[in-house]
Each structure stands twice: as structure tokens, then as C-alpha cells.
Amino acid sequence: MTGSTIVDEWYPVGMVSGLEPETATSTVLMGEELSLMKETDSSITVRRGTEERPALVRFGHVWTSLGSPDHPLFSIPEADNAERRLVDCGCVRVKCSPLRAVENFLDIAHFPFIHTGILGVEDHPEVKKYDVEVDEKLNEIWAKKVEFYQPQAAASAQGGIITKYMYRVATPTVSILYKTCPVRKGEWDIITLFVQPVAEDVCDVWPWMALYDDDTPLTDLIHFQQMIFLQDRSILENQIPRLLPLDPKLEIPTRADLTSIAYRRWLKRRHYTYGAQTVAA
Amino acid sequence: MTMRLYDYILSGNAYKARLILAFLDVKHESTAVDFHPGKEHKSPAFLAINPAGTLPVLVDGDHILTDSAAILVYVALNHDPAKTWFPVEQPTFCAQIVSWLAFAEQLTTSIGVARLHDMLGRDADIQNARATGHQALRRLDSHLVEQEFKGSRYLVGKTPTIADIACFPYTALAGDGGISLMAYPAVNRWLISIRSLDGFIEMPGIHALHGSDTAPDLPWQSGGSERE
């Protein structure tokens, strides 16, 4: 089922603050049952049966692999800034391909229709021209100069603003969003989507944030993110086909879908097919 | 003193409270409770307010209401001068409404449980939750067909009541728990009728109607709408 590019990748499998100490927690990664055990917040072991798997603790989450990653976990240097608030949002299960969850996160055009009155309004549906490139050195996708009118861009936003975005795809199931910080000029808020592939058409999604916002209660920050993501969930579960089509014959994209096109091509080039449909049905 | 709602954005029961407060435009304040992932509703501070550890909770001065049906009745009786949402002057309707408030509990323990299982990974007998959910939906659908024949789009009488609010959230959220509403056409028409009411607010998983959407004509009507 899985090529080396798939098994040798890092995946999120749990939230550190959600694990009870000295208590085994089981989870599923690509059909394989794993057991997580926390000794301390920085020392967590991951086992498949009796076999220990590689384990990292970063960005509030536990990362592991079913294979042997030959690369370190991606970095988010901004997350180390002590002035940022790091927000664990918990896990939401979605019956969709893990790749569909990432692709939806990269899409701006749906904001006015799915996140009406918050991330977009129906009177301002236009997605302006933006740039997408593959960073060959990091093997990541970057979309830059994305701009969109948003009535309530974040929990901390007071009224509508033109929000600037940068999107980054760090691994096939991890996307990181940099967006205009409403309360600190010139800084980016960071919102990530860490996607744990449970099966090809089921995923556990762990949103996580690193924000400049000293005023909004933590619970309100979490609920803002949950509200947005749960608005997407019902849409994601109804997308057809369930798997993400990598065959370009199957769908006709528009200019606004530039990041999605780059993502699908990048997956295809890496032979990353878990959760993908490679031949038109 | 302003009423305070202890709220969770993803809770269908909390949404019932938000809906009645919105429909009746009642001034109130809200406190968000970190149900997931923080389990704040089981924290000592919250248990001091509601020992049952459930959401929502409405606090109005000395009164603490910890049951969504009680909140619906309380807000309707105190803030609806037109007396339509809980029509106290029509005892028969009130009795019917109370039985729908009890029925709504069946939706919570079936569809609501399936939803928590599918969405937040809570333990549940998922087959049983879905099966009892379908049973409840069949009952709701047949009743709504009867109501349509009487020219009504709502569960009781001919105008919306707290019975509709009590049954709306978990019905509309059935898809979240892997329960399809495809086999329940009258339920689908009713959902749109509720979503098109003045003052309606959405919740994640229940989308607002968009500009061009309107409540559909009842199947046997052409053109004329008998909403009142």
C-alpha cells in the first residue's frame, strides 16, 4: 500500500497536553495501531506492538513515522518566540482523505460561502492573483502574496480587514498558514493543520496556532478555530470522489486553484499516493 | 443583571439556547467553556456552577438553569411578549411542545452520541446510536408530513415554537454523525423553514441559507406560501 515516500514521512499522532502521564493511549496511523506513553511532556514513546517507533515532540504534538525518515521534522522558527501564545486545539476526526483536508485548508475561494461573515463575505468573492512556488531545497510548497477581504479574520480582529496570507505545505499532510496579525503590525499569525492519516479516507486533524494575542481568552481562541474547522468538516465529508484525484483529466481548475494544482502535482511527483486517486474512475 | 450563558460553540444543546436568545433578541453575555480538548466542564470551578457537568448553563440572577429544555421554556416565558414560542394560552399546544422537548432528548442520545463519536472520538455503541437516530428521524418525518397536510411547516400549531428549536440542532447535524437525511424529505423541508426564520443564527456544521435560497413551497402548493 505504501511507498517509501509515504512510510518514511513524519506524522502527528497525538497532542502532548491531551495525554495522561503513565497511561497508554492508542491511536491509528495509516491502518497501523500505535500506542503512546508519556513519561514527561518532553519524553514520549511510540510503539507499534512491542516495537518502538521514532518519536519527536514538537509544536505541542507527538510526531512519529512507520518507516525511517531521512530528514528532520520541518521547522517553524517563529513558534519559538516566547511572546507568541501556543494554542492546542484538540483533534477532530473527518471522514475524508487526509489530502483533501490539506487541500481544503489551502483554498481561499470557499471562504465567502462556507465561512460567511467571518473569513469572507459573498459580496467579495474574488481571489486576486497570487504566486505559488515549490522550494526545491526544502521540498515545500509556498503560496505568497495572497490577499482577501475578511470581516472577522481572527478572534482578535475588530471589524473587516484585507488579510494577507502565505500558505506553506511542509509535508503532504501538514499545512502552515501565515496570516496578517490583526493586533501586531508587520507580524504573521501562524495557524497550522497537522493531519494524521488514519486510513485513506479518514483522518484526525490537529489544528494548532502560534499567535500574538494577549487579550483573547484561550478558550475563545480554541473555539474560533474549531468553529472555522467544523464549518469545513461537513463539506469535506461530502466531497466526491473521496480520494484526492491526481489525474489532471478529472477536474477543471481555475486561476484561484493555483495552490491546489501545485499541491497535486507535487504529490504526484513525490509518488505520494496515500489518500489519492491516481487513475480517473 | 444580565443573563449569562455558559456556552460551547460545537454543542447542539448550547445552540438551542443561542437560538432562542437570538430569535427573541434577548440581551445576554456568554462565557465560552473549553469542552474539547480542555474538558473544562468537568473542572471544579465549573462543577461549582453545575454539579452535573453539562452544557449549556444559563444563569439569570439567582436562577441557574442547567437543562436546555428548561432554558427554552424560561427564556420563552420571560422574553416573548407575543407568547408564540411557548403559547401558554393554548394548553393543548403547550402539552404537545413538552412532549417534543422530551423527544429532543432522544435525538441527543442517538444522533448527538453518534456525532461525538465520529467527530471527537468519544466511545459509543455507534451502530446502536445510528439505528436509534434513524428511528427518531422516521417519527419526526411522519409527524412533519401530517403537519404539512394541515398547512403547517412546524412541529406544533402553525408557527415556530420551542419544540422546533429543541429538535432542530441534532437533526440538522445528523450528517456529522454519519446519519444521512436523504430518506426524510419532510425533515429536509422543515430544516430549511427553520433556517429561513428571521433572526436565525448558524452554528458550525449548519450553514446559513445563501441569498437565493428560500423556504421551499410545500409539495402540494404551487407558488402560494401560507406562512404566518
Instruction: Tell me the per-residue pLDDT of A142-175, one tens digit each, with 9 for 90 and over.
Output: 999 999 899 988 888 888 888 999 999 999 999 9
CA dist B201 and B195 (Å) reads 8
Chain B nearest-CA residue for A116: B208
pLDDT category at A195 given cuts 50, 70, 90 is very high
Mutation for B interface: A95, A152, A226, most B CBs within 10 A = A226
Q: Which B residues in the span 14-53 are in contact with A, Cβ-Cβ below 8 Å?
A: 32-34, 36-38, 40
pTM of the model: 0.91
pLDDT category at A279 given cuts 50, 70, 90 is confident
CA dist A112 and B109 (Å) reads 34
pLDDT category at B2 given cuts 50, 70, 90 is very high
Which residues from A are below 8 Å from B8, CB to CB?
Answer: 223
402540494: which residue's cell? Answer: B220
CA dist A141 and A171 (Å) reads 9
Contact B35, B41 (CB under 8 A): yes
pLDDT at A248 over 80: no
CA dist B111 and B181 (Å) reads 11
Chain A nearest-CA residue for B206: A231
Measured CA to CA in angstroms, residue B192 lies from A166, B92, B208, B218 at distances of 37, 26, 10, 11
Give, as one character, the DSSP assignment of residue A115: S
pLDDT at B56 over 90: yes
Interchain contact, A219 vs B40, CB within 8 Å: yes
3-state secondary structure (DSSP) of residue A251: coil
pLDDT at B219 over 80: no
Helix/strand/coil (H, E, C) string of A85-102?
A: EEEECCCEEECCCHHHHH
- In chain B, the N- to C-terminal Cα span, in Å, equals 34
pLDDT, averaged across chain A: 92
Contact A227, B207 (CB under 8 A): no
- Which of residues B113 and A247 earns the better pLDDT score? B113
Instruction: Note the ipTM here.
Output: 0.86
CA dist B168 and A90 (Å) reads 27
Residues in chain B: 228
Measured CA to CA in angstroms, residue B17 lies from B20, B57, B85 at distances of 5, 9, 13
Q: State the pLDDT at residue A160.
A: 86
CA dist B136 and A220 (Å) reads 34
CA dist B171 and B228 (Å) reads 24
Annotate A56-80 with b (16+ C-beta within 10 A) or e (fewer): bbbbbbbbbbbbebeeebbebeebe
φ/ψ (deg, to 5) at B214: -135, 165
Q: Which three cell numbers stand for residue B136?
A: 427518531
Interchain contact, B37 vs A116, CB within 8 Å: no
